[in-house]
Amino acid sequence: MEGRRLRGGFTTTDSPPLHTSEPLRRTAFNRLFAAVYFSAILALLYRHVQNLFLLSTTSLLSFSTTLSLFISDLVLAFMWASLQALRMSPIRRKEFPQDLKQIIKDEDFVGLDVFICTADPYKEPPMNVVNTALSLMAYDYPTDKISIYVSDDGGSDLTLFAFMEAAEFARHWLPFCREHNVMERSPQVYFESNYHSSSPHFEKIK
Q: Tens digit of pLDDT for each residue in 58-117?
A: 677 888 888 899 999 999 999 999 988 888 888 888 988 888 878 888 888 889 999 999
Segment 35-57 shows an average pLDDT of: 85
pTM, two decimal places: 0.55
Residue 120's alpha-carbon distances to 117, 123, 151, 158, in angstroms, are: 10, 5, 11, 10
152 is in an annotated binding site: no
pLDDT of the residue at 9: 42
* Residue ranges in the chain assigned as alpha helix (H): 27-49, 60-82, 85-88, 126-137, 157-180, 187-194, 200-205
Whole-number pLDDT of residue 106: 81
> Given a cut of 60, is residue 2 above it in pLDDT?
no
Q: Is it the case that residue 11 has pLDDT exceeding 50? A: no
**What single letter denotes the amino acid at residue 144?**
D
Give tens-digit pLDDT for 163-180: 999 999 999 999 999 888
d(CA 189, CA 145): 25
144 labelled as ligand-binding? no
List, in sequence order, every residue forming a beta bridge with 7; answer none if it has no partner.
10
State yes or no: 107 annotated in a binding site.
Answer: no
pLDDT digits (tens, 9 = 90+) for 113-161: 999 999 989 988 999 999 999 999 998 888 889 999 999 998 899 999 9
Q: In the chain, what are the domain boundaries?
A: 20-92, 106-192
Asked whether 176 and 187 are in contact (CB, 8 A), the reply is: no
Instruction: Give the pLDDT of residue 13.
Output: 55
Higher pLDDT, 206 or 82: 82
113: β partners:
147
